[in-house]
Structure 1
Amino acid sequence: MYCWCFQALIQFQSRQSAVNARSTLQGRNIYDGCCQLDIQFSNLEELQVNYNNDRSRDFTNPNLPTEQKGRPSQPGYGDAGNMYAAQGSGGRAVGFPQMANAAAIATAFGGGLPPGITGTNDRCTVLVSNLNSDRIDEDKLFNLFSIYGNIVRIKLLRNKPDHALIQMGDGFQAELAVHFLKGAVLFEKQLEVNFSKHAHITQGADTREYISSNLNRFNRNAAKNYRYCCSPTKIIHLSTLPQDITEEEIVSLVEEHGTVVNSKVFEMSGKKQALVQFENEEQATEALVCKNASTLSGSVVRISFSQLQNI
């Protein structure tokens, strides 16, 4: 069975309207059980529509002519040449433009970027090497790299077991991952993280898909998540916890990954959260990689690095 993957570009009157539409409709089905929407921001500033017909329409100008039969459609519709392309189902391109969440980025960083971040990278795929191949898998890599952006797909290289390709949501998120994770230590190995020469990871049997995962952090509260991006620290922050969680249960969840120096359970905006401080960054990183998305009393725990120096 062959499935077609159709695409369309839609221009709203305002940026906020586009943000609201994506937030509301992302992942919804057009029909019950099928035709799931994958909505991303385009890097085109303006759509030029010359004809009102079944392929294009300008709703602000109903007097446009109908396209003559046989005339080619407007360049740019479904043209990956103007997009940072990711391979989607059916082999068609899905755009993940650089700095797609421009408004969220500006809010998070107050109009400036963190030192060392240029905001000009357009490569979405990251190559990570010197992995501990005996202990790593796609989900653990997702847990670590999803702190810096949405994950499209991950591929462990079978001919190089200590290498993996990770396709991020856009070039800015990939730059954050490279900047903050280069040299991080995981499972007694110092990671080497660089931009890949591959524009995207081709979907296949040896790839793990995450584009529709509800564990991706940047579909909601993107500004908040950008603000918390940092290199691995000794302290992890746990959220989305059960309301009746205890400090002992939190420590029990993560203590196998290192020496717990201090811990604290607290409440913010009516929701239980926790901080756990380890002896070093490597132990905290291992706890995050292994225990993010764990289930406690029906709650899926989310773990990030905390920028606090001590608890």
Structure 2
Amino acid sequence: MATSGQQQFRYTQTPSKVLHLRNLPWECIEEELVELCKPFGKIVNTKCNVGANHNQAFVEFADLNQAINMVSYYSSSSEPAQIRGKTVYIQYSNRHEIVNNKSPGDVPGNVLLVTIEGVEAGDVSIDVIHLVFSAFGFVHKIATFEKAAGFQALIQYSDSETASSAREALDGRSIPRYLLPEHVNQCHLRISYSAHTDLNIKFQSNRSRDYTNPSLPVNPTAMEGFVQPVVGPDGKKKEPESNVLLASIENAQYAVTVDALQMVFSAYGTVQKIAIFEKNGGTQALIQYPDIATAAVAKESLEGHCIYDGGYCKLHLTFSRHTDLNVKVSWLFKLELID
């Protein structure tokens, strides 16, 4: 006989092979649900993070008796069902199968729709987004925008496999704290698949980037001051621009590698070549882009930027007189080519 209102509520439900789980830890993942339920039978479908607080889920067993066994076990057990130390309440669902578990946002595609919770537009730059998502493969395009759901971004990869690996790794996770402004405590990524397959990016700007087309024009009104004046504040003519930047690295307490520079500078466009060398006792580097416009954006954005937290490896950038680096791997020091 039922001994609590909760158990009585379970027993009054018509048995179903779909179970409704409540009071789950926030952002409970599918693997945790399966781990809890698999001792009772084969799980054929799940639906996680439902409800206003994203703390409910549905689990569908292959057979009705398997679901009944699980409800009966926990109804009579002195040990409640638990995930991450939280008691999970289990009851039969009114549904008899999980229909359309793969909603349009769950059908794999090469473009991800990312909702960044806990931030305002401008708190997370497009370069931070690029840095986070580039860890899983080459990002082709990014477009950011504001909707009723909050600050969102579309991230385009070359294929659905790459997009899927990024989604699986990042959905429900937070952007690293050191990449966020001081006033943002944390933010969470909600990631689904977009119906888009190829984003139409017309300009490089602080709201959109096409990393496959470095010759795409920069939108002067959208780069937040990236366009340099013809004449500097001292009245002197600005330095001649080039597609190659010369980076002087101050306070180089850590090794400056090609990979580190590639990660930093590729946020603004395709980096064709990188040469690292020692001069006058300091570390310098040449970074080649396909065009002047991309180099100018990178220069303006990265001047004074520190590669490592704590003020280490601070970048000071000027335009180089070079236009095409002749990088030979047999040279001394650390001259390397990025293909």
TM-score tier by shorter-chain length is 0.3 to 0.5
- Give the number of the structure with larger relative contact order, counting CA–CA contacts within 8 Å between residues 6 or more apart: 1
Higher gyration radius (CA): 2
Greater fraction strand:
2
TM-score when normalising by structure 2: 0.34
